[in-house]
A and B are shown apart, each in its own frame.
Chain A
Amino acid sequence: MTAEAQPWSVRAIEAGSRWMISRRRKLSGIGLGIVAVFLLSQSIYTVENGSSAALLRLGRVIDSAVPPGLHFHLPLGIDTVAARRTDEVVRLEILGDTAPSLVLLTGDENLIDAQLVVQYRILDLGRFLFGVEEPEEQIRNVVRTAFQHQISVSSVEDVLTSAKARLQVESRQNAQRRLDDLGVGVVLVSVNLSAVAPPAEAASAFRQVSDARAEAAEIVNRARAASEQSLRLARGSADQDRQQASAAASARRSEADGAARRFEQLLARRIVAPQQTRDTLKFDTFEKILSRAEVVLVPPGQARHIEINLLSRDGSEVPFEKPLGSSRGPERP
């Protein structure tokens, strides 16, 4: 080869290679060292706290539950790692086909709109990653199935009001059973009915029912209150009656006692002075009555019949004939 002017790049490469060849031993040592360090760096991997990982060697799973921390694996793509946050609870919404809400048919052929939210956690990472295609879609389908089954045997009243909690719990249990049978490797933390309502077009009709129920309760309460009041008054009146009777009875007894005492006093006087007492009493009485009444004296020997016009209390005349000397009339004391 003639000593032509070669480009500087070629000369540099030639010089570099001559230098490298002359120091090949040392360089190979250093090179090996660099390669070793490089390989080591590719062999280390960390699994974060709250996660776990699956380790695959040439495609085959050799460990499906690598715990958090620092680990080694074979470099150069021989080993691959797939990690997931297995402590984390993942939230999935289950939406309807054409609208955000699921449209479901209840046991009594009523329509309802519902929105479901399910929360799950990965239990078996190996099955979750490699055993089942689309585990989240599986979960959605299974939960929807379980919920539909529950709705199919419930009345719309129950679904909208009292059975909501029960539906959630039973859906979760049912869905968990199905997922376990399929081997999806997750545990369902909760199934929530985030919204459930009758269809918009029927909403006012449903409101009317709850209004009517409230009204009915109100009517019954008012009736109860009124009846309690009426009974209170009746009891009060009854007590009053009893007390009045009791008082009247007492008064009567006192009256009797008084009259008895008076009689006994008079009797005592009569015993002492019989005739005098009788006369006194007689004349006392006659004084009183004769000063009040009208007295007509009929001389003896007069006609044996006299006409007396008695005026009855209303002013009409009542003819009365009294034969004198008859036994009728005031008794001669």
Chain B
Amino acid sequence: MNRRLRIVLLVAGLGAGIILPTSVFSIHQTETGIVTRFGRPLAGVLGPGLHVKAPWPIDRVIRVDARLLLFDNEPTEMLTLDRKNVVIDCFLCWRVEDPLRFTQTVGTRSQAEARLLDLASAALGAAVGSEPMESFINLDPSAVRLDEISRIAGTEVNKVASGSFGIRVESLTINGFNLPPQNRASVIERMRAERARIATAYRSEGEEEAMKIEAAADAQRERILAQAMAEAEATRGEGEAEALAVFARAYGKDPEFYRFLRTLESYERTIDQDTTIVLEADAQLSEALRDR
């Protein structure tokens, strides 16, 4: 074989060795692939695995991330319906739905995220602006519409993203809701004042309760004592009545004799050292005394 042929074969072999491997490529599980021929994309989206194409520079492969992607927004200040400044933090979960459209329009991740940022800010700003503060924080759970608002904004973003960029926004989620940092001082002041009010309320409730307890106890005490007094009176009365019955029974046997005895007893009781008895001399007794 002459030398020239050998050299040509060698070069061709080397060339083939360099270029042919570009005909065979693999797409990773996390990607989808688009093949472009002379810059123009071919139809059809390639899934994971081994594929064949025309060698470079005829055909080229563009790889697009097929996974669920996370785009975490910076917290943004927005205005609610009742003109309150709030800081909303949200994140988007999105994926490339139409890789062809995606590569034709935005092409790269950063471009896509820039578009999404614009769309999300507008949609969220509008959604937040049509809700009062009470839709975000409220002690009544049924009044809070965080999920609703997120969903509305997400749908809005998806309309444009899906149609224009081949992107599907799986979710737009508000994961932070706060007041602007410059409001912090006044919020803290309000919190302090509210706590002071609550503390005072607790104390006065306690005092009121204590007074009620005392009053009830006093009333109860009065009842107990009055009842006891009544019962005591009744008992004494019973005793007195029984005693009188006994007296009546006994004295009833000879009332006249009782009167006699009772008179003598009353003399004995009532006449003492301070008593002066005046007797006529012709009384039986005065005779007896004179004789003494």
Q: Which residues of B contact A257 (CB under 8 A)?
A: 246
Is B229 interfacial (CB 8 A cutoff)? Answer: yes
Say yes or no: B176 contacts A148, CB within 8 Å: yes
Q: Which residues of A contact B209 (CB under 8 A)?
A: 216, 219-220, 223
Stretch of B13-21, B123-131, B272-280 that contacts chain A: B272-280
Say yes or no: B240 contacts A252, CB within 8 Å: yes
Residues of B in contact with A, size category = 35 or more
Q: Which residues of B contact A97 (CB under 8 A)?
A: 75, 89
Say yes or no: A253 contacts B242, CB within 8 Å: yes
Say yes or no: B275 contacts A332, CB within 8 Å: no
Partner of A234, one of B69, B221, B238, B277: B221
Is A30 interfacial (CB 8 A cutoff)? Answer: no
Stretch of B35-43, B112-120, B157-165, B190-198 that contacts chain A: B190-198
A230–B243 Cα distance when bound, in Å, is 37
- Contact A109/B187 with A237-B225, A263-B261 known, Cβ cut-off 8 Å: yes
Q: Which residues of B contact A238 (CB under 8 A)?
A: 224-225, 227-228
Q: Which residues of B contact A293 (CB under 8 A)?
A: 271-273, 275-277
Is B83 interfacial (CB 8 A cutoff)? Answer: no
Say yes or no: B210 contacts A223, CB within 8 Å: yes
Q: Which residues of A contact B175 (CB under 8 A)?
A: 141-142, 144-145, 148
- Contact A285/B68 with A58-B50, A59-B26, A300-B280 known, Cβ cut-off 8 Å: no
Say yes or no: A226 contacts B140, CB within 8 Å: no
Say yes or no: A216 contacts B203, CB within 8 Å: yes
Q: Main SS of the interface on chain B?
A: helix
B172 to chain A minimum Cβ distance, whole angstroms, is 11
Residues of A in contact with B, size category = 35 or more
Stretch of A31-39, A65-73, A322-330 that contacts chain B: A322-330
Is A17 interfacial (CB 8 A cutoff)? Answer: no
Partner of B206, one of A104, A110, A198, A215: A215
Say yes or no: A141 contacts B72, CB within 8 Å: yes
Q: For window 182-220 of chain B, which residues contact chain A by CB distance below 8 Å?
A: 184, 187-188, 190-192, 194-196, 198-200, 202-203, 205-207, 209-211, 213-214, 216-218, 220
Say yes or no: B199 contacts A209, CB within 8 Å: yes
Is A134 interfacial (CB 8 A cutoff)? Answer: yes
Partner of B191, one of A205, A241, A250, A311: A205
A198–B278 Cα distance when bound, in Å, is 102
Q: For window 26-67 of chain B, which residues contact chain A by CB distance below 8 Å?
A: 26-31, 47-50, 65, 67
A34–B258 Cα distance when bound, in Å, is 150
Residue of A nearest to B206 (CB): A216
- Contact A209/B224 with A133-B69, A298-B279 known, Cβ cut-off 8 Å: no
Q: For window 39-75 of chain A, which residues contact chain B by CB distance below 8 Å?
A: 56-61
A239–B214 Cα distance when bound, in Å, is 22
Partner of A296, one of B173, B268, B278: B278
Q: For window 222-262 of chain B, which residues contact chain A by CB distance below 8 Å?
A: 224-225, 227-229, 231-233, 235-236, 238-240, 242-244, 246-247, 249-251, 253-254, 257-258, 260-261
Q: 26 A-B residue contacts at CB 8 Å?
A: A59-B27, A109-B187, A110-B194, A130-B30, A132-B68, A153-B144, A178-B173, A182-B170, A202-B188, A211-B199, A223-B214, A231-B220, A237-B225, A241-B228, A242-B232, A246-B235, A249-B240, A251-B239, A260-B246, A266-B261, A281-B264, A285-B268, A296-B278, A298-B281, A300-B282, A330-B267
12 more contacts with CB within 8 A, not counting A220-B213, A230-B218, A288-B268, are A59-B26, A60-B47, A104-B178, A153-B139, A182-B93, A202-B188, A219-B207, A242-B228, A249-B242, A263-B251, A289-B277, A298-B281
Partner-B contacts on A (CB < 8 A): 56-61, 97, 103-111, 126, 130-134, 137-138, 141-142, 144-145, 148-149, 152-156, 178, 181-184, 198-199, 201-202, 205-206, 208-209, 211-213, 215-220, 222-224, 226-228, 230-231, 234-235, 237-239, 241-242, 244-246, 248-253, 255-257, 259-260, 263-264, 266-267, 270, 278, 281-282, 285-286, 288-290, 292-300, 306, 308, 310-311, 313, 322, 324, 329-333
